[in-house]
Amino acid sequence: MAVLSSISSLVSYYRLFFTFMAFFFSGLIFLSSRSKRPNLPPGPRGWPLVGNLFQFVRSGKPFFEYIEDLRAKYGPIFTVKMGTRTLIVVSDGKLAHEALIERGALFANRPPETPTRAIFSCNKSTVNAAVYGPMWRSLRRNMVQNMLNTSKIKVFRNVREAAMDKLIDRLKTEAESNNGVVHVLKNARFAFFCILLTMCFGSEMSEEATEKMDQIMKSVLISLEPKIDDYLPILYPFFSKKRKRVLEVRREQVNYMVPLIEKRREVLQNPGSDKKAISFSYLDTLFDLEIEGRKQSLTNEELVTLCSEFLNGGTDTTATAVEWGIAQLIANPDVQSKLYEEIKSTVGNRKVDEKDIENMVYLQAVLKELLRKHPPTYFVLTHATLEPTKLAGYDIPTNANVEFFSHAIGEDPKLWTNPEKFDPDRFISGKEDADITGVTGVKMIPFGVGRRICPGLGLATVHLQLMFARMVQEFEWTAYPKDSKLDFTWNLEFTVVMKNHLRAMIRPRV
């Protein structure tokens, strides 16, 4: 997903430039490409140097639609050349299982970072970006064992409860001042971000500090949007102004976050000095972390990078799921009613607690169907192989970006009955099911699968279940304007969100 996340933002004025560059370099490329080529999966014939980049821009379609058209023509595995990058797109559950589960170690690497991403990942010093090896093992083991296991997640139970109470209060206040209308994504995103900030730095921040941090994180995501030189490195010298802006954003990020890091160091060295501090945070696990194969501790810049990954990784993805989920509950009032009845029968008139969620079978089915139908990103994070190999009889070079199309797998009619329909009952009837981890088979991969599966899967599930339970328990959700038909058209902003961000009518249930 790293390369694909915002590729559709490339603008059409590059068309003439691509044409010129293609003709200019065609002779050179032809002369240098006479060596034996690998037997790549089929795909559209590209231009010299630019590959299919020019064809994609000329199509006038969002990237996912362009890929859907190619999938219909070339099948479940095909190749797209985007400048100097080779993308091998896989949209078949069995092939995904073979690659990521059966041969997981071989497909567990990451391709080279773009220059901009290398800056913000501190040269691949994050769980998601790290090369499959000692650095990745150390960082992931620390995150999973010391932060995201079940017992550690429970440590922050009070933090989640407080954030959910604030969310409900914010929704009530907004509805009272706006004739019952609320913004779903904005409020969900703020709640998740507050939780993760506290988990990361070990202290609840003021609303002003939270908004400042959020602004910085958004600036980072904007800076990561692809640029033409990401695909045509020969143009790198012509983008000095954009590189300067990227470095400015990075400096702002580091300058704002390092004092927060140092403040947490002081709290640990002087227990009781900060009455608002909590006993444990993600940052605590990083201060003395030993990385396999190196002697020095993580630098402040690496700590900034890892904290940013923790915040960004769990905010937009879960908030996006909430927006799509509330939209589906509005479009399917019978599902909303059934979910409310389960909540009511489980807890009565008291507030939903995290322990109650374990007994809510229909809630779990609703969220599973939501993640099947609306994975936060249509591609999981990009994979690469450790050595040249084959998949489905085709060559997979080590320098290729192997992309798994989660949207296509989750709506594959060979795997699902009426995949277009939002139907949580498919998981209740026993006729259909899916292992979300992919171990027993790949039918949906909202969190990825295999060795690079999202380490925050358990935390994200708790967050989503709790927020949906509280939101449905407190409010009845209906369309705005009243009786209007919801537009399920999507748009790409870091994650796949609703093109027209959801505004809904809420009515308190009590």
Q: Report the alpha-carbon distance of residue 492 to residue 320 in Å, rounded.
A: 11
Residues 6+ apart with CB under 8 A from 178: none
For the record, the structure tokens of 92 come out as 């078949």
How does strand 394-396 pair with strand 77-82? unpaired
The answer to whether the annotation marks 307 as part of a ligand binding site is no
Q: Closest Cα partner for 425 from 293, 335, 329, 298?
A: 335
Q: Report the alpha-carbon distance of residue 196 to residue 192 in Å, rounded.
A: 6
The CB density around residue 351, as the number of other CB atoms within 10 Å, is 14
Q: Report the alpha-carbon distance of residue 231 to residue 11 in Å, rounded.
A: 14
Q: Report the alpha-carbon distance of residue 495 to residue 463 in Å, rounded.
A: 17
Q: Where are the alpha helices (DSSP H) in 202-281?
A: 207-223, 228-231, 240-269
Q: How many CA atoms lie within 13 A of 44 on its CB side?
A: 20
- Which of 86-119 are b and which e, b meaning 16 or more Cβ less than 10 Å from the residue's Cβ? bbbbbbbbbbbbbbbbeebebbbbbbebbebbeb
Binding residues for heme: 454
Binding residues: 454
